[in-house]
Structure 1
């Protein structure tokens, strides 16, 4: 009796000798040329086909996060390409690996933060007054704990991040302005009362709120930010091919280093064990 090999079921891509199926559809005939990449990315993550309103909000998020100029992720991508021009995958990976708590990771951090607050509510507020009360309590508790509010503040757009009101607008137009965006907007209104100063709601944060309102998996929010940034990093490499600056960046550091005396770390006073 011949034993059958172990089965690995998947609703994603599967191939036979004649066809490729994806999400239950024929890839060549039903998907290619008919489904946009943003729609497909959403579909792959949720295994349900999004409606046009969801696609518009999702693709607005991708556009908002794609490229922000000479950020650390862009610089390291260009420098890695300078060092290893035969490895485009290495250059892209180098940039993506820098997606953390200061760049790109804020999208996930903010989405999770807002979700935790919303999930703990007995019922959702019915109006801005109710959301303001929730936001005021949340900001006060973060302040008392000595913690930052994710998505609040920006190192460049100190008078307001232009992406934020636009994403609010698009979500409202498409009927996708849910509790996460409502709470985030309320934080923007009330935080000066607690912090004594006005900070902008940043684009990475509003993207996290919008993705959470689309019911996308919280564990994947940073992945969507990295998906967007991949397009931006490809653009950075394409521009590096036409107008290279990586070598100038490298030389600006290498030719301007200054020798100083060693600054050794203090030794531990704890006894060493064997």
Structure 2
């Protein structure tokens, strides 16, 4: 007699195995993970499917910490705060903020990983060609470099890049992508006649590339990190109160361009 698995096979997963009184995550009993595995390591285990430790785990956690918040001027944070004044719950306010993350706000890390990998494949001697090809396909902005607010430098990027280079010295990562990032900085400065330093997206992309993450995971991990700031701001706004707060105070008006 054959066993009918048409229902159990509807969803197939390597992430969790469970029955009454037993929960295994990636093959490990949940009770063994609780109290022994930090949250960053747990994220990596769940998403990537393997353990991460030592300097590699430290790099991953540093990347998550670095991108948690950028204030109410960030669309994701502003949206969450506005939503919090509209009478919805905390989770809905968080979802509103997370849904603002896209190709422009939140996607640069994924794009930077893709660019770094293209340069690695081609070789650093083809850097200029790779940048030109990127611009032809995607436009003039090089993802992960320059910042409209933090000038002359994004304070998060040098710290992250330094951590990568320290990890490379002990063999935890290759350091190849840090070299590529610095080479891009040099090239952009030569082109524009002024410094165009790496920003948070470029620096976290270096870490995710060094850790072997597929490019889309860079965006996913950014969203996971930024959700912390979104939660903090949504909750703060709920505590502050306010009703139906829009993007500007009510005495300010928009520009009408119609007939």
TM range (shorter): 0.7 to 0.9
Partner of 1:173: 166
Residue 17 of structure 1 pairs with residue 20 of structure 2: yes
Structure-to-structure mapping, 1:35-74, within 5 angstroms:
35-70=37-72, 71-74=74-77
Residue 256 of structure 1 pairs with residue 252 of structure 2: yes
**Over residues 131-181 of structure 1, what are the superposed CA-to-partner deviations in whole Å (9 max), with x where a residue is unaligned?**
4x4434434555677522111110111211111111111112222353222
Partner of 1:184: 181
CA drift of 1:238 comes to 2.5
Partner of 2:112: 110
**Over residues 33-85 of structure 1, what are the superposed CA-to-partner deviations in whole Å (9 max), with x where a residue is unaligned?**
11111011111222111122111101111111110111111110011111133
Partner Cα distance (1:96, 1:33) in 2: 29
Residue 236 of structure 1 pairs with residue 229 of structure 2: no
Structure-to-structure mapping, 1:84-123, within 5 angstroms:
84-85=87-88, 87-121=89-123
Residues 158, 199 of structure 1: 8 Å contact kept:
no
Partner of 2:130: 138
Partner Cα distance (2:15, 2:87) in 1: 34
SS at match of 1:50: coil
TM-score normalised over the length of structure 1: 0.82
RMSD: 2.4
Instruction: State which structure, 1 or 2, has the greater radius of gyration over its C-alpha atoms.
Output: 1
Match of 2:82 among 79, 83, 86: 79
Q: In 2 relative to 1, CA 48–147 (structure 1 residues): closer, same or farther, beyond 3 Å?
A: same
Partner Cα distance (1:61, 1:226) in 2: 12
SS at match of 2:70: coil
Residue 202 of structure 1 pairs with residue 199 of structure 2: yes
SS at match of 2:213: coil
SS at match of 1:98: coil
CA drift of 1:112 comes to 1.2
Partner Cα distance (1:84, 1:107) in 2: 33
